[in-house]
Structure 1
Amino acid sequence: MKLRSSIVGVLALALMAVAGCGGAGEPTKASAGGSGLEKAKINIGMMPVVDTAPLQIAMDKGLFKAEGLDVSMVKLAGGAEAIPKLKGGSLDISFGNYVSFFAASAKGVIDLKIVSDGFQSAPKTHVVLVSKDSKIQTMADLAGKTIAINTKRNVSSMLVRVAAKAHNVELDEDKNFVEAPFPEMEGLLKAGTVDAAQVVEPFGTFIGQNIGARVIWDTSQGPTADFPIAGYAATSEFAKANPNTVAAFQRAMSKAQALAADRALVVAAIPKYTTIPAAVAGSLAIGGFPTTLNATRLQRVADSMKEYGLLDAPLNVQDLIVADK
């Protein structure tokens, strides 16, 4: 148990750490492998989580290099950090969750374009946990209860609210949710400070092992089955000024996402860019890695955001997508 707890602690540090990053690099002439690139050296924002395994696979397999791209991966503490760094130009493209990207775009915080899909939910990747002795058995029992999530008015609370509504329960962002980092949720459940917690891998696995927490709902089913979680975005200005560079990134990522269908490759990649040991990586639930951008799929996110008050007006996702080339 001490080993698992220490792993959770190390993961907490990894999620909070931010690697220093320099400028996004001056435009360079394309190499022979990337003829026509407006900019060969690019900075990509990423997070040390399972979701970004295809980026590591692309680096390992030389997929970016084959396209003439010289990629530097910049570690971010969280998706919210991507927005100012994209806007400021220290990142050219960044990984982030769709709820954050769509909300920032709709509010005029930043003019974004989605250039690659990244990650979608799968069984056990996003679950709702309760303590082993809790009287809560189903989502219907969460009426009037307190649920820990990592960020209010974002993908975590939305997934829980969608699931609760399917069980005829309406949850309020302010009354029913409390924010807490994923690594702290085990302690909150154990102490009874919260009634439930929405967690992602690897925390779902670790908390279950450490304190016997029970899964009462897997959000990768019902109305949020195969739900689009995250992708890669650039500013509209960057996408317009560097169409060949963006297309080269898309081609490399499409190949990497396809390779990530091989679980063994993902498991092997995880310890290279996270603090998750190889022995642990093999036991984790791993989501899906879509190979193409599909506006219909991503529209599910925007429509849910509008329904649950995370968008003031409907958002046409097609307008934000840079078509794969």
Structure 2
Amino acid sequence: MHAIKWILLFATLIGFVPAASTQSLPTIKVAFNVPGDEAKLLMRAHPEYFPAIGRDYQINWMQLQGTATVSQALIAGTADCGVNAPLTLAQAITGAGLKPILIGAIIGESPQSFTSYWAVKEDSPIRTVKDLKGKTVAVNTIGSQLDAFTRIWLKQNGLDPKHDVNIAEVPFPLSEAALRQGRVDAIVLVQPFATRAEKTGGLRKLGALRDVQPNLLNLVEACRQDFVDAHPKVAAQYARDFAAASKRFSQDHAASIALLSDILKMPKPALESFMFTSHDYQRYPDGAVDVQVVQKSFDLFYDNGLLAKKLDANAYIRPGISLVAHQDSK
């Protein structure tokens, strides 16, 4: 008995934490996507940069494909927090009663950054959006935010996306080949695939996402409200670590490119050709959400029949937890 007491005392003095103590820490089930979810990819690869992970809480990481799948996991309660597009989040709220709290911003688009765009082959007879009537446009996933913006773009240019155009589902890595081989007539180009296609040449831009919404959040981080209510201190610390990861990723360019090169299995020069340049997405070094930008997306989706009711983005902000940008004129 005395020997056991001395062992425990020695373990305390040297800072040893028994496995049982680690197991008793609050756990956040966090869903992430690859690529795009960069701050969280850094947190997952290098938890040693964030002392609270493993000390105050632990993370159970789960990789899911697409933001719609993450929204479904949040609805089901199999994930506590995860990456969302404003559209999939809004549809989960209006369609399934999800109650989320916005934590932070991941990537977006602005007039100063790269913007996703629709492209056709250089020698295509398609010169304007209206020429897509009777043609096939590829999107990454039916029901995704890019699919929604494609339909809004078509509608704004006088086409009925349900009857005038065939919208096909083609994953990003395969869409360029589908276009060049003539299996589709137009595609949506996002990074890093846009830079690769531009280097090869032979394609022409037909329209850009900023024509639909100039300032846009592509990806946001959100947690279930019931999780935040039950663990407010843990949620606040997770938000602080998310902000720190966003800052570190944005500042240490070489390390960040090396990390993504390893995860995506892409050569560093391919990533260096656009990352942290004017041809990169809008990044948020503080990880903060611009609520006005989210509200404009919510309004756009509602006005185009993609949401059953209007939403107030401010309803999903929790003071002391949500990372919120200073709201200026947008």
- Pairwise TM-score range, normalised by the shorter structure: 0.7 to 0.9
> What residue is the counterpart of 1:77 in the other structure?
65
CA shift, 1:150, in A, is 1.6
The one of 117, 124, 128 equivalent to 1:127 is 117
The one of 304, 321, 325 equivalent to 1:308 is 304
Larger CA deviation: 105-114 vs 238-247: 105-114
CA shift, 1:44, in A, is 1.6
The one of 92, 97, 115 equivalent to 2:103 is 115
What is the distance in 1 between the residues matched to 2:51 and 2:131? 52
The one of 312, 316, 320 equivalent to 1:320 is 316
> What residue is the counterpart of 1:48 in the other structure?
34
Say whether the 8 Å CA contact 1:130–1:215 is kept in structure 2: yes
Say which SS state the counterpart of residue 176 (structure 2) adopts: helix
Matched, 1:289 2:283: yes
> What residue is the counterpart of 1:192 in the other structure?
182
Distance 1:267 1:171, change over 3 A: farther
Say whether the 8 Å CA contact 1:293–1:323 is kept in structure 2: no
What is the distance in 1 between the residues matched to 2:43 and 2:171? 29
TM superposition score normalised by structure 1? 0.77
Distance 1:171 1:146, change over 3 A: farther
Q: Report percent identity of matched pairs.
A: 21
Could you list the runs of 5+ residues in structure 1 that have no partner in the other structure?
1-25, 30-38
What is the distance in 2 between the residues matched to 1:324 and 1:163? 37
Say whether the 8 Å CA contact 1:115–1:324 is kept in structure 2: no
CA shift, 1:159, in A, is 2.5
Distance 1:66 1:218, change over 3 A: same
Could you list the runs of 5+ residues in structure 2 that have no partner in the other structure?
1-21, 322-330
Task: State the one-letter code of the partner of 1:119.
Answer: I
CA shift, 1:235, in A, is 1.8
> Rg bigger for which structure?
2
CA shift, 1:174, in A, is 5.7
Say whether the 8 Å CA contact 2:87–2:301 is kept in structure 1: yes
Write the deviation string for residues 133-188 of structure 1: whole angstroms up to 9, x where unpaired.
1122344543554311122343113323444456x433414642222222231232
Size of the aligned set, in residue pairs, is 287
Distance 1:105 1:64, change over 3 A: farther
TM superposition score normalised by structure 2? 0.76
Write the deviation string for residues 70-103 of structure 1: whole angstroms up to 9, x where unpaired.
3343221222221333344432211121211110
Say whether the 8 Å CA contact 1:143–1:169 is kept in structure 2: no
Kindly report the root-mean-square deviation, in angstroms, between the aligned alpha carbons of the 2 structures: 2.7
> What residue is the counterpart of 1:33 in the other structure?
none
